[in-house]
Amino acid sequence: MNPDFAAAFHCGLKILAATLVSRFRPSPYPLKWLRPEIPPTVRFAAVFSASLRSRPQKPGLILGISVICPRLKFSPSSTLERIPHWIIDSDQQACYKPKMPVKLTKPDYKKMNLLQFQKEFRTEEDCQHWLFSTRWPQGFQCPRCNQGEYTLLENRNLLMCRACRYQASITSGTVFHKTKTPLLKWFWLIYRMATSKTGVSIAEMQRELEIRDYKTIWTMAHKIRKGMSDRDGHYKLAGLVEVDESFFGPKKPGKRGRGAEGKSLVIVAVSTWTDKKGHERPGFAHALVVQDASAETIEGVLRRLSIPEDEIQPLINRIRTDGWKSYQKAARKLGVDHHRAVFTDPKDSMKLLPWTHRFIANAKAVMHNPHHGVSQKHLQSYLAEVCYRFNRRFWGQEAFHRLLNACASTDTITREKLMAPAEQSP
């Protein structure tokens, strides 16, 4: 018997046995296994052809496949024509070339509850597969030469371009960059932070996810909050905007309200709209930590939140405030109308400025209940988390995939920057 044929036949039997016995699940990269709905003979031949990537094509190998799977009718010139998405490159080696799907105009925000999440993301490979298909929806594309053929370096979990030998990582350019924590634990934390209306305790998540070091999951949560902040930074306020300020910090004796010491001043702005029945509804919200409540500061905040990069005039046409003189000066400089909601009884504040006060009350509840207080340095990060959930309150079951896409499309932040002194923090 021809030695090449004998070796191929023996190897083919092993792979065929593994194919029939194993339960095929999607791999982290669409590289080794084909989808379960593909016929077993074609799937087996694809698995067998994967072993040819590191060796030249030999007639004995093709003959071995032809004997085991006669219906495929392979020939040396068209070895993998019947196998979807597999080709023979110029070096006569089998390599993977992904089929180019239709490019989506926007991410696919699928609805997902807890049971669906547990079913879809059961293993580390499931998370890697999602991240791969999200980063390269049209198939792998080398960041350096834009070629689509690659080799998986399994020991280092890298994708090496077959053209320029560049080694790419599926986590580069995301909040997961250089992480040593399994992606499955990341996805669980993202799910809890996206779906919990009142916030989630990081110490509780440390116990549930079995992460030894508290600083590790604390850093993970801040990286996720950065993804929230970066995504909300693309949206501007328009129309009638309700604006007010509040002080965040521990209770201290002394003056309350404007002029209080030892607290952080936060300006909250909420856009509003009117439904078909004529009822006013809250739209998008932003909350920013500022140094003071001067007219220059308020004007800068409103410009930042309402003027797109390619525009000059603000999208805001009217603001509603408590009548503080700084708001009047800022509205005059911006050229927008100013509606003063003046009240003598503090209890009327919820009636005249309902949306900003409701947002402030919810934000303070989050700061005090699950987090038990927040430092002034990281207050802006926690406010970004509250804003992100508030702005997506109508898309509850889509919250996980929306946040997951945000984390996959923003750069990370290191622990050193997070723990640096306040003057060095970005």
Q: Locate the DSSP E strands across 25-92.
A: 86-88
Beta bridge partners, 247, equal 265
What Å distances lie between residue 72 and 51, 59, 67, 69, 344, CA to CA?
A: 18, 15, 10, 6, 85
Provide the pLDDT for residue 391: 93
Q: Tell me which of 3.30.420.10, 3.40.50.1820, 3.40.50.300, 3.40.190.10 is the CATH number of domain 234-391.
A: 3.30.420.10
Domain ranges of the chain: 3-96, 112-131+179-232+393-426, 234-391
∠ CA 83-84-86, nearest 5°, is 75
pLDDT in tens, 363-405: 999 998 888 888 889 999 999 999 999 999 888 889 999 999 9
Provide the pLDDT for residue 76: 37
What Å distances lie between residue 354 and 30, 320, 341, 346, CA to CA?
A: 51, 11, 11, 12
Rounded CA-CA distance 178/196 in Å is: 27
Using a cut of 0.95, tell me whether the model's pTM lies above it: no
Provide the pLDDT for residue 423: 60
Provide the pLDDT for residue 388: 94
| Spans in the chain with pLDDT lower than 70 | 1-107, 253-261, 309-310, 312, 343-350, 423-426
pLDDT in tens, 312-370: 677 888 999 988 889 999 999 988 999 887 766 666 666 788 899 999 999 999 998 88
Distance, C-alpha 101 to centroid of its chain:
21
Distance, C-alpha 401 to centroid of its chain:
7
Provide the pLDDT for residue 249: 84
Q: 3-state DSSP call for residue 425?
A: coil
Number of helical (H) and strand (E) elements in the chain, helices listed first? 15, 10
Rounded CA-CA distance 400/195 in Å is: 7
Provide the pLDDT for residue 108: 72
